[in-house]
């Protein structure tokens, strides 16, 4: 049986590829376990300076929970009275969202097709979404009488605002790539045939960038969203000191003065 998630690290870039194209990259248990492992490895490995999250095939990025597996689990839960099925949120969805959204390095999602339910949620944990013109997004949760998970109730209102987020969660429907771009869900839309090459360029550029500064930028933006201006200014002071002490800062300034392109070390 093929691996449900592929994980590759090359030149500081970790590429995580959901690999069940025949099942629209739906998240069965094996896929969730492997995705959690890959996301936690990529986030925690200091040799990894950027993460690219994508999926195999040209039809789907990820349609969320594998409902064909889920229906069997629900039935056995009812038979045994165990009620274990929903533990997947604690065991899989939360750790995956935590690892990706909290990674101290840039995360790029290359959305190659439909992203639904937790698949949409995981795309939203990325800092930058590059999207095929054939792709679409659907919150889907209410369509199967569920509420939000995979961090989407945190990420979606931050990306598109609370009113629009409530609309998309209460009335799940497919949002095409162009509409996603206008809403701010997609950062960039490219022809489907160019997605992998363009996403690779973006992710590699970030993997070669000033990693300490990128981590500080992510921390500063997350902090600023939930703190006062005064608290945020204090935080910026602390984070700027950290970035300013990095070797990459000295390299960047020297390269600027020398009129050269900086070659960052990621520290
Ligand atoms: C909007 C769709 C995602 C895409 O629509 P469309 O392009 O028209 O494709 P379809 O014809 O509907 O689907 C093609 C085949 O893929 C199968 N499929 C699609 N989604 C799933 C899925 N989630 N699980 C299993 N299989 C799926 C579909 O049955 C077709 O197969 P056949 O060719 O054999 O017929 C649309 O497909 C859609 O709305 N899908 C459902 C999306 C969804 O509800 N996802 C789950 C949300 S819940 C979640 O993600 C997280 C949790 C977390 C915790 C606990 C429990 C559950 O969920």
Find the 63 Cα to ligand 1 centroid distance in Å: 5
Closest CA to ligand 1's atom 10: 24
pLDDT per residue over 100-144, tens digit each?
A: 999 999 999 999 999 999 999 999 999 999 999 999 999 999 999
Is there an atom of ligand 1 within 6 Å of 146 CB?
yes
| Residue of 64, 85, 153 to mutate, ligand 1, most atoms within 8 A of C-beta | 64
CA of 62 to the centre of ligand 1 (A): 9
Q: Which pLDDT value is given to residue 84?
A: 83
| Half-sphere exposure of residue 152: CA atoms within 13 angstroms, side-chain side | 30
pLDDT in tens, 22-72: 999 999 999 999 999 999 999 999 999 999 999 999 999 999 999 999 999
Whether 2 has a pLDDT exceeding 90, the answer reads no
Does residue 54 come out as left (phi exceeding 0), alpha (psi in the -120 to 50 range) or beta? beta
Domains in the chain and their CATH numbers?
5-207 (3.90.226.10), 211-257 (1.10.12.10)
ipTM, interface predicted TM-score of the complex? 0.98
Predicted TM-score (pTM) of the model is: 0.97
Q: Closest Cα to atom 13, ligand 1: which residue?
A: 24
pLDDT for residue 1 is more than 60: no
The predicted pLDDT at position 83 comes to 80
Residue nearest to atom 32 of ligand 1 (CA): 23
Give yes or no for residue 38 CB within 6 A of ligand 1. no
Q: Which atom of ligand 1 is nearest to the CA of 144?
A: 44
With a 6 Å cutoff on the Cβ, whether 141 touches ligand 1 is: yes
24 lines ligand 1 (CB under 6 A): yes
Concatenating the DSSP letter of every residue in 171-240 gives S---EEHHHHHHHTS-SEEE-GGGHHHHHHHHHHHHHTS-HHHHHHHHHHHHHHTTS-HHHHHHHHHHHH
Ligand 1 centroid–CA 68 distance in Å is 9
């Amino acid at each position: 049986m093929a691996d449900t998630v592929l994980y590759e690290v090359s030149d500081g870039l970790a590429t995580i590829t959901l690999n069940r194209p025949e099942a629209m990259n739906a998240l069965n248990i094996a896929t969730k376990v492997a995705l959690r492992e890959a996301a936690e490895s990529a986030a925690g490995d200091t040799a990894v300076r950027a993460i690219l999250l994508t999926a195999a095939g040209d039809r789907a990025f990820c349609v969320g929970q594998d409902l064909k597996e889920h229906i069997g689990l629900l039935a056995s839960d009812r038979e045994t009275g165990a009620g274990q099925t929903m533990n997947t949120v604690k065991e899989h969805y939360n750790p995956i969202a935590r690892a990706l959204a909290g990674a101290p390095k840039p995360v790029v999602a290359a959305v190659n097709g439909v992203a639904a339910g937790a698949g949409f949620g995981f795309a939203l944990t990325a800092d930058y979404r590059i999207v095929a013109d054939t792709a679409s997004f659907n919150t889907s949760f209410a369509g199967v009488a569920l509420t939000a998970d995979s961090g989407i109730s945190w990420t979606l209102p931050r990306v598109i605002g609370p009113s629009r987020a409530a609309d998309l969660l209460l009335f799940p429907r497919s949002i095409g790539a162009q509409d996603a771009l206008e809403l701010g869900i997609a950062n960039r839309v490219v022809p489907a045939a160019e997605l992998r090459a363009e996403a690779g360029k973006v992710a590699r550029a970030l993997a070669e960038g000033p990693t300490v500064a990128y981590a500080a930028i992510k921390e500063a933006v997350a902090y600023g969203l939930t703190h006062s201006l005064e608290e945020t200014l204090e935080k910026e002071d602390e984070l700027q000191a950290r970035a300013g002490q990095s070797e990459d800062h000295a390299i960047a300034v020297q390269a600027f003065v020398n009129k050269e392109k900086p070659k960052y070390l990621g520290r």
